Amino acid sequence: MTKQQRYTAVISWFQQNMPNPETELHYTSPFQLLISVILAAQCTDKRVNLITPALFEAYPTPEALAVSNKDAVFEYVKSVSYPNNKANHLVKMAQMLMADFDGEVPSTVEDLMKLPGVGKKTANVIASIVFKIPALAVDTHVFRVSNRIGLTDNSKTPLETEKELNKYIPKQLWSTAHHWLILHGRYVCTARKPNCGECGLKAYCKYYFNSKSTVDLISAEDVPM
Ligand code: SF4
C-alpha cells in the first residue's frame, strides 16, 4: 500500500464513521475556549470541563480576568496539571487581550501565539474551531496515532507530523482531521494499549500489519518441525 493509498483509505473511513467530529471541551465563547485549551495542555478535557464552570462564572470576561491575580485563579485551576504556570498564563493572557487586542481573541495563528500560554498547537486549535481557518493542531494523540497508522514515518516532532499530514490531507479537511485523530487516540488507539481488535482502521494500519506479521512469525517458529 502506498502512502497516498493509505491516506485515501483512512480519510474515507473517518468520513464514513466520524462525519462530524467536535472538540469535547465545553465553552460558549472564543474567550472560554481559549481558556479551556490553555488548561487542557498535558491534561484531560474531562478534568478541564469539571473546573471551568466555576472559573467562567468567576471570570466571565477578559476584563475580569485581567484584574485578577495568579493566586486567586490558582484556587480554581489547582486540580489541573501545572496549575501555577497555567494560572499565571491565564491572567497574563487576559491582560494582553485587553492591552493589545481590544479585549477580543485574535483571529490569526501569529497573533494567537503572542499570548502567554499559547503555543502553535493551542493557536491552531483556536484558529480552526473559532475562525474556521484550516489548521491541523498536533497534540500527543495526533502525534502517536499518525505514527502508528503510518501516516507519518516515525516522525520525531509535532512539527514534522503537522507538515506531513498537511502534505497529504486536503486543506479543507485539516481541522476535521485534527478531531478525527484526537478522538481515535483517546478512545481506540490509546497510548497504553491500542485496541486493534475493535479498530476499523486495521486494514490500513502499519502498526497492526507489523504486529500481526510478528505474531505470524512467532507462530510459524513455534510449529514443530
Ligand atoms: S489498528 Fe491498532 S494501532 Fe492501528 S490505528 Fe487501530 S488501534 Fe491504532
What are the structural domain ranges in the chain? Answer: 3-20+138-215, 30-131
- pLDDT at residue number 218: 47
- pLDDT at residue number 216: 54
- pLDDT at residue number 215: 56
Which residues are known catalytic residues? 121, 139
Q: Do domains 3-20+138-215 and 30-131 have the same CATH topology?
A: no
- pLDDT at residue number 212: 74
pTM (whole model) above 0.75: yes
- pLDDT at residue number 83: 98
- pLDDT at residue number 56: 98
Task: Name all residues whose Cβ lies below 6 A of ligand 1.
Answer: 148-149, 188-189, 194-196, 199, 201-202, 205, 207-208
Q: Please tell me the class of the 3-20+138-215 domain.
A: mainly alpha
Q: Helices 140-149 and 158-168, interaxial angle, to 10°?
A: 60
Q: At 124, give phi and psi (nearest 5°).
A: -65, -40
For residue 14, the CA-to-ligand 1 centroid distance in Å is: 13
Q: Let me know: does 142 contact 131? Beta carbons within 8 Å.
A: no
- In CATH, the architecture of 30-131 is Orthogonal Bundle (1.10)
- pLDDT at residue number 94: 98
pLDDT less than 50: residues of the chain: 217-225
